[in-house]
A = this chain, B = another copy of it.
Amino acid sequence: MKHGKISNNTIRRMPRYLRALDELTARGTNRVSSFELGHILGFTASQVRQDFSCFGTFGQQGYGYHVPALREQISQILGMHKGRNAILIGCGNIGKALLCNFDFSSNGINMLCGFDTNPELVGTHLNGIEIRPVSELGSFIADKVIDMAVLCVPPDSAEKAADALNSCGVEAIWNFTNADISSPGSKAVIENFHFSDSLLTLCYHIKERATRC
């Protein structure tokens, strides 16, 4: 599927469409209009059509979208069938919560193993996933294709850990360190994930609502 540069906002709406389609599937709905799909997510029908038009021709005028087909197309757009291999670095609080609670496999990710420096954690398993010493990172990666690392180290170790991963050939990072990682000039793809950004955005809207009332 060839296309030009897609806006970040459009890309970030794709997983939301996927969720809405899963919800429709669970309800036994097989067909949906752009109006109905937009209504579930709070988008206009025009926004929905415009988003999908970036990736090709989806749906059919007068019919709408076939739910299973559209789900499959979005899943292809997001590369969910690729079976990406991942590792997780830093098995403290947030790393542990992710390994134990987040369903990596339903998002097409094989979580291979965790790494930590804490000798009390090394050798243990979290949710069936082995925790290895960080010193083994290079040798573990050497004979495998690792598509991404989930980075959960303390913020002041973030840049160093990202550099180490990069030099081992891991070029995508899901970054939970609360420090923005910038690797100028590198090919690395970084998705910074900040709980507080979301919370403070909510706080802004609470304040604005009070101002309006």
Residues on A lying within 8 angstroms of B by beta carbon are: 9, 11-12, 14-16, 18-20, 23, 40-42, 77-80, 82, 84, 93-94, 97-98, 100-102, 104, 107-109, 147-148, 171-172, 174, 178-180, 182, 187, 189, 191, 193-207, 209
Contacts and interface: CB of A to CB of B under 8 A. Distances in A.
A150 to B, nearest CB: 9
A179 B20 CA distance: 9
B94 A204 contact: no
A200 B107 CA distance: 7
Contact of A201 (B12, B84, B179, B209): B12
Given A172-B206, A197-B16, A202-B174, A97 B107 contact: no
- Describe A's contact surface by its main secondary structure: helix
A20 B180 contact: yes
Contacts of A100: 93
A55 B57 CA distance: 41
A205 B175 CA distance: 14
A182 B192 CA distance: 26
A40 B180 CA distance: 8
List of 9 A-B pairs having minimum Cβ-Cβ separation, nearest first: A79-B207, A97-B97, A93-B101, A191-B202, A15-B200, A15-B197, A189-B205, A78-B200, A79-B203
A194 to B, nearest CB: 7
Nearest to A200: B15
A12 B201 CA distance: 6
Residue picked from A23, A40, A199, most chain B C-beta under 10 Å: A199
Given A19-B180, A191-B205, A199 B107 contact: yes
Residue picked from A41, A78, A93, most chain B C-beta under 10 Å: A78
A197 to B, nearest CB: 4
10 contacts: A11-B204, A16-B180, A40-B182, A78-B204, A78-B207, A80-B203, A98-B195, A107-B199, A108-B203, A147-B206
A21 to B, nearest CB: 12
